[in-house]
Chains A and B, each alone.
Chain A
C-alpha cells in the first residue's frame, strides 16, 4: 500500500504537450479515478505512473519513495490493461503465476496465491485454458487476477471495462469496488465513463487537455463543479447552459437572459462575483428543476417518457434546455411549462470558471 504524490508532471510526444503540469494526490488505500474526454491524457498519466512512459518534467512519489525514473518492475505496481494483454501462449494459471515466477517466488507460495485469486474471481474452471478459449468477461477477470496475485502496493486500471457489454460492465464495476474494499490497496483507475467515475471513486480527478480541472470527492465535484467543463462532463443528461447577464435588481442580483428569462441569484452563494452587467453562463442540471410558478417557463418541443421519469426538451432563455420531471407530470409538446430552478450554477463567460465560492 502506498500513497501517490504526482507533482507538476509534464509529458510531450514530439511537438504536442499531452500533460501540462499535472498534480495528483492519492491518499493511501483510496480509490482514485482519472476521468476526462478522449485524448485528454488519462492513459498517458497512468502509463507515466506505471513507468511505461517517462515524464519530461515533474516528480512521482509513492509514499516518500521517488519513483520518477524507476523501471516499471521496480515500482511494485500491477496494471490491468484495456486490452487485458493476457500472454497468449500461457494458460490462465501460468498467466497468473507469470509475475511471481519472474520474482522467484517459491512454487508453493505461487500455488497458494493463484488458488486464492482464482477463488476470489471464480477462475477455477478456467485455469488450464489458453486465453483464446475465454470470453471477454473471463479475460477481464484473468487480467484482474494477474494483478491481485502480485499483491502490489498500487493497482493501475486503464479502462478495464470498456470491452464488456453494458450489463456485465455494471456487474464488474460493483465487483471491482468490493475487491478494493477487501484488499485495501491504493488504486488509480482511468475511465471516460462518468458513471464509473462517480460510483467507484473515493477521489476523482477530472482531466481536460492535459490539466486537472478539478479534484475532490465525487459528490463534491458533482455538486460544486469548479469549471463549466467539469459541470458539463459529469452528469447525464448533461447540465444545461444558458447565456445570461448579471443585473442589479431589487434586493440583490438576477441573471437576465433572452425571451424574458430572469432568475434571482443568491448573494450568499455567489458573493463578490456578482457585478452589474457581467456576462455569465447560467448552469442548471436537468434534475434541479421542478414544476411550479417561479418566473421561468420552458417552451417544450419534445417529451421523452422513460418510465420512472420524463425529460422535457425545449427552449429556455434562448438556449436548448432539458428538464427532468416525474413520470406523472402532465406535460405536452408545444406547452409553455412553468418551472422553478432549485439550484443554479454560474460560470464566467470567458474563462468558464465557476463564480461560486469567490466569496
Chain B
C-alpha cells in the first residue's frame, strides 16, 4: 500500500536528508577547500572555503617530476596498475576455488574454509616483516609485481567467501539445463554461471581493487624508491614529521579519489542486484 505523503512530511524528510548529507560531506568539503588554498598554513574556519584560492597545490602535486619523468603520473599509474592487477589476479584465483567449494564435494571442505577464515584474523602488519624477507629473496622488493602478489593473496580468502555464496545462490538447474541443451560442464559454467554471478563478481573485484588502492602499511614497507610509490605512500610523505603540507595532502587526496569515483560510476551498471531473479520459479 502506497500512502500519499503530505507536503509537511516531505519537507521534514528532505530536511533530515540534507542535514545527514551535509554532515557526511563536511570533512570532504574541507579537503576540497584545502586543496585550493594558497595560504600556509591554511587558516581554520567554520565554512569550508579556500583561503586565498589558487591552483598552486594541485599543480605542485600533479606536476611533481624528477630527472625529467613525471613523478606523480608514474605514482598514479603504480596505484592503478597494482589495484587492477590485484582485482584481476585475486578474483581470477577466487572464482574457480569458490565454484568448486559451492558445487563439488571437496575433501576437507569445511576445514579448509575455516582455515581460510582464520587467515583473516591477522592484521597486515603482522605479516609485513616476513613478506619483506620473502619478496627480498624473490627479488620482488620495490616492484609492482611484488605488491600485487601480496595484495592478491590477502584478497583471495574474502573473495572466495563472497563468490562461494554467490555461486551457491545460482540454482544447479541452470547448469543442468545448459548441459542438456548441449553444453559441457565448462561451457555451462562460462555461459550461464559466470554471467549470472556477474554482479557478485563485480562487487568482489571492486572490493579487491579498493583495498589494494588504499593499502598503506605494506606499500610503505615494501617500496623504497620514490618512483615505485603508490599514492597512499605519496600522500603520507606530505604530512611528514617536521613539515605538514596540508594543502598538498588535500590536493593529492582529491586526485586520488578521481579514479575511484570513475570506477564506481562505471561499475554501477554491473552492481545492479537481482540479475538472477526470475530465471527459476515464479
Contacts and interface: CB of A to CB of B under 8 A. Distances in A.
Partners in one complex: yes
A83 interface: yes
Interface in B220-277: 274-277
A89 B178 contact: no
Interface string B2-40: 000000000000000000000000000000000000000
Nearest to B197: A89
B116 interface: no
B130 interface: no
B59 to A, nearest CB: 46
A150 interface: yes
Contacts of B192: 87
Interface stretch (A131-139, A181-189, A271-279, A289-297): A131-139
B280 A83 contact: yes
Contacts of A356: none
A319 B282 CA distance: 42
Given A83-B171, A84-B280, A132-B277, A89 B187 contact: no
Given A89-B196, A133-B278, A134-B278, A102 B182 contact: yes
A305 interface: no
B100 interface: no
Contact of A86 (B182, B187, B275, B280): B280
A73 B275 contact: no
A77 B180 contact: yes
A131 B278 CA distance: 5
Contact of A73 (B173, B181, B277, B280): B181
A79 B274 contact: no
Interface residues of A, number: 32
Given A88-B279, A139-B282, A73 B179 contact: yes
Contact of B180 (A78, A135, A136, A139): A78
A98 B181 CA distance: 7
A67 to B, nearest CB: 13
B195 A73 contact: no
B277 A89 contact: no
B217 interface: no
Interface in B170-188: 171, 173-174, 176-184, 187
B182 A103 contact: yes
Contacts of A130: 278
Interface string A63-82: 00000000111000111010
B280 A52 contact: no
A122 interface: no
A88 B196 contact: yes
A139 B280 CA distance: 9
B196 A79 contact: no
A87 B277 CA distance: 10
A85 interface: yes
Contacts of B174: 85, 87-88
Nearest to A130: B278
Contacts of B274: 132
A102 to B, nearest CB: 4
B198 A52 contact: no
Contact of B173 (A81, A134, A139, A146): A81
A84 B275 contact: no
A99 interface: yes
B66 interface: no
B187 A102 contact: yes
Contact of B279 (A73, A131, A150, A163): A131
B180 A73 contact: yes
Contacts of B191: 98, 102
A81 B171 CA distance: 12
Contact of B275 (A52, A89, A102, A146): A89
Given A88-B196, A150-B181, A52 B176 contact: yes
B281 interface: yes
Nearest to B184: A73
Nearest to A156: B180
Contact of B176 (A84, A85, A150, A163): A85
Interface of A: 50-52, 71-73, 77-79, 81, 83-89, 98-99, 102-103, 130-136, 139, 146, 150, 163
Question: 5 closest A-B pairs (Cβ-Cβ)?
Answer: A132-B278, A136-B282, A88-B279, A99-B181, A85-B173
14 contacts: A52-B179, A72-B179, A73-B181, A73-B184, A78-B181, A81-B177, A83-B171, A83-B281, A84-B280, A88-B280, A99-B182, A102-B187, A135-B282, A139-B278
Given A85-B171, A132-B278, A135-B282, 12 more contacts: A72-B180, A78-B181, A83-B171, A85-B279, A87-B178, A87-B192, A87-B195, A99-B182, A102-B191, A103-B182, A133-B278, A163-B282
